[in-house]
Copies of this chain bind each other. A is one copy, B any other.
């Protein structure tokens, strides 16, 4: 199966978890009705994004939110990338993406590897590491279409993650993420296009819809980029479902036309992963 439909749910996230879960699930059903095979929710889809909120909204996995995701994935018979939620485990908090298969089973759990700690004076200062702990593993899952690699938001700034996922055969990279009004315009699209053109993969990002009154204002603009580095489609800032039909034959053609993955100089350099 060399084509499939990808749907990115740019959810308007409120401070009420139950509302977020209900609306997320209904939008997942809608996406499935429109023929989506793989669906992604945005980063921190079940609660407001911020270090003061993470402890209050954090839950176990499996738990309330992931149970709902599992059910709706099964009901809709789709692969569901659960954006991310604050996860609590053994006294630590993580920013975690859970992925469910069409049978509702948990396929993989990605804990954000690179915590969003930046300080751009007068613009944006954020320190996820105040309350979150980093994950320490690579996260991919298989589908009948292709292998998918996962990162969350700030993970996208690290080329090595995408390079390793491409080495491992991923042809789609999905980053639930919420850039902001400083990093969004500067880097959101550039980084996606860079990962796509360097690794000749499809790259998708799922952002929450923008809420100008929130303490952390998300950039929005969920996007899908093809292996040529071209933006196929992108959302605005409102709540929406972004659809993109992914053509893996096109990926194969691009890799044949500009065969950089075969022209790497392993005698000069390698990108090595230290963990399975």
One digit per residue, 1 when the CB lies within 8 angstroms of any chain B CB and 0 when it does not, for chain A 190-218 equals 11011001100000000000000000000
Interface 9-mer from A2-10, A72-80, A268-276: A268-276
Q: Which of A51-59, A85-93, A244-252, A255-263 contacts B (4 or more CB under 8 A)?
A: A255-263
Instruction: Say whether B271 contacts A271, CB under 8 Å.
Output: yes
Verify if A187 is at the interface (C-beta below 8 Å from B). Answer: yes
Q: Which of A74-124 contact B (CB under 8 A)?
A: 113-115, 117-121
A265 and B198 contacting across the interface, CB-CB below 8 Å: no
B contact residues around A164 at 8 Å (CB): 269
Query: Is A68 engaged at the interface, CB distance under 8 Å to the other chain?
Result: no
**Which listed residue (B193, B267, B270, B273) contacts A268, Cβ 8 A?**
B273
CA–CA, A263 to B161, complex, Å? 13
Residues of B within 8 A of A138 (CB): 268
Q: Which 6 A-B pairs have the closest CB atoms?
A: A194-B194, A160-B269, A120-B257, A118-B258, A159-B198, A157-B260
